[in-house]
Structure 1
């Protein structure tokens, strides 16, 4: 049997507990299961629960199973803005409280990039939730950017642009005028 050397916290990640590396297959929502949905974590609540915004733009209470907690948490870190696969509890009776769902899969950054490329889905639903590391493919170009400035900063920016244009023109004319060879020793 393997002896776990080290003290205190190194035994929590012991060699005999480490499982085989995850396979490279990406778990996507099953089209035969209408309850499986892609979601984005909007708020962590604690005690194995979080709020998620599902693909149908509804907020649900996600129950994090023990598979994703404790020692298995290392590669399944869930933070606001994380993308997850959830299973909606359609069998549960409707009540006045928020609808519940179960966590099935946590996607990391590389898996999320592959998921955006392979799954046809309206990713704009998750825009503005948490902090996305893969915003390049999720963002649309219709963003409106505001820039706050006064007249002084505007005039300074124009002066800088004019000066750079002048220096570029001067350097271009210097290069055009000189037709000989450059001797490095003269420099």
Structure 2
């Protein structure tokens, strides 16, 4: 048998070859809406705050599961359901660069924050833990 000069298995080679492919920017159509993931719930579900002001429980489509990882704060394209307004399906996840392009085209409103996963006010010095002197915790000895 000839020596394998490429190294790795077929899956690794296939992944490496598609890594730098630039796909065309996908805009919304009828029955679709842009949104931002506010909370991951597990089992392929998440809460999404859509641009139209409705908070929806969305399900990540099967083609994206375990291939495209969605996190809190990501901009996504949601397919709306005709029979349930409070639910939807995530069909596309936009990278930060694609989301900025959508914002420049005027598809996303100006108040949408890109690349921000923190929901808090951004104060890193306080962790939100306060000690009570009456509870018997001596703060000086910590």
TM > 0.5 between the two?
yes
**CA deviation after TM superposition for structure 1 residue 13, in Å:** 5.5
CA contact (8 A) 2:34 2:108 kept: no
Q: Aligned partners of 1:80 and 1:38: how far apart in 2?
A: 15
Separation of aligned partners in 2, 1:117 and 1:69: 29
Which runs of structure 2 are paired with 1:17-56 in the superposition (5 Å)? 20=18, 21-30=20-29, 33=30, 35-56=31-52
Report what 2:123 is aligned to.
none
CA 1:12–1:54 in structure 2 vs 1: closer, same or farther (change >3 Å)? Answer: farther
Where does residue 115 of structure 2 map in the other structure?
133
| CA distance in structure 2 between the partners assigned to 1:23 and 1:86 by the alignment | 21
- Deviation string 1:77-122 (CA, Å, 9 cap, x unpaired) is 31111100111111x2x5xxx8210111101111111111013443
Distance between the aligned counterparts of 2:61 and 2:16, measured in 1? 19
Corresponding residue for residue 78 of structure 2: 86
Query: Normalization by structure 1: what TM-score?
Result: 0.51
Aligned-partner Cα distance in 1 for 2:12–2:107:
40
Contact 2:79–2:89, Cα closer than 8 Å, also in 1: yes
- In the alignment of these two chains, the number of paired residues is 111
Aligned to 1:108: 95
What is the CA distance between 1:69 and its match in structure 2? 1.5
Alignment of 1:117 onto 2:104: yes
SS at match of 1:15: helix
Unaligned runs of 5+ residues in structure 2 are 117-142
Against the structure 1 CA distance between its residues 14 and 47, is the aligned structure 2 distance closer, same or farther, given a 3 Å change threshold?
A: same
Name segments (4+ residues, structure 1) moved above 4 Å: 3-6
- Mapped to 2, the partners of 1:12 and 1:44 lie a distance apart of 32
SS at match of 2:98: helix
Closer, same or farther in 2 for the Cα pair 1:77/1:123, shift >3 Å?
farther
Measured against aligned partners, the alpha-carbon deviations of 1:155-177 in whole angstroms (never above 9, x if no partner) come to: xxxxxxxxxxxxxxxxxxxxxxx
With normalisation by structure 2, the TM-score equals 0.65
